[in-house]
Chain A
Amino acid sequence: KQEVTQIPAALSVPEGENLVLNCSFTDSAIYNLQWFRQDPGKGLTSLLLIQSSQREQTSGRLNASLDKSSGRSTLYIAASQPGDSATYLCAVGQGGGYQKVTFGTGTKLQVIP
């Protein structure tokens, strides 16, 4: 059974800092890994999707990397801003025919002005 862990559970940084969020998974037989952002009381917004054949994906100030063999992914946020404050979740996709996805419990990020 796939297990996805995100450490730390919460993180507080001053504005402008570069930061890294971590995601680890136990079964390396994955199809993709997706990073989401969730604002309080809201749904999940997709940030980046990395296919199993890829090593990284970039979107603006965000860069996500994937190391399947070690069961790890990182989300790098450059020059953090207060608007980046949210909970970040990673999700590992497996299986066929539909998206069999296992979610981590998230890292709650607070960027202090």
Chain B
Amino acid sequence: SQTIHQWPATLVQPVGSPLSLECTVEGTSNPNLYWYRQAAGRGLQLLFYSVGIGQISSEVPQNLSASRPQDRQFILSSKKLLLSDSGFYLCAWSPGTGVFSPLHFGNGTRLTVT
């Protein structure tokens, strides 16, 4: 069966510090991978998606970047965090074939920028 791992679970970082959140998927090949951010009282916002190694698309301009160095690894990064980067970050995957497949989410990372 497929599983998705996301870490760390919580993170407190000062403004201006770098960020690296990691997500890995097991039990499947060539998944589509996604980074979402969930702000309090608001719906999930898609930040980045990837359909293959090295292929990253950004949905919104921001202080963050994403990379996919391996087939089942997705990394969310920032060189200098802003207060507005605080939020709940969720990694998700879906099978790489077709659009009729469900999204599967990790447990999320609660990021607090102080």
> Judging by beta carbons under 8 Å apart, are A4 and B100 in contact?
no
How far does the alpha carbon of A93 sit from the alpha carbon of B99 in the complex, in Å? 8
Given that A98-B49, A103-B44, A105-B41 are known contacts, is A32 also in contact with B99, CB under 8 Å in the complex?
Answer: yes
Instruction: Say if the beta carbon of A26 comes within 8 Å of chain B.
Output: no
CB of B107 within 8 A of CB of A42, answer yes
Residue pair B105, A99 in contact (C-beta under 8 Å):
no
Tell whether A109 is near chain B: CB-to-CB under 8 Å: no
CB distance from A102 to the nearest CB of B (A): 8
Q: Flag if B110 contacts A41 (CB, 8 Å).
A: yes
A interface size (C-beta, 8 A): 28
Contact in complex: B102, A46 (CB < 8 Å): yes
Chain A positions within 8 Å of B41 at CB level: 105
Shortest beta-carbon distance from B11 to chain A in Å: 13
Query: Secondary structure of the A side of the interface?
Result: strand
CB neighbors of A among B97-114 (8 A): 99-108, 110
- Asked if B94 contacts A99 (CB within 8 A), the reply is yes
Instruction: Evaluate whether A4 and B43 lie within 8 angstroms (CB atoms) in the complex, with A98-B32, A99-B32, A101-B103 already known.
Output: yes
CA distance A14 to B42 in the complex (A): 27
Check: B34 CB closer than 8 A to any chain A CB. yes
Q: Considering the complex, give the chain B residue whose CB is closest to the CB of A9.
A: B41
The 8 Å CB contact of B106, one of A43, A100, A105, is A43
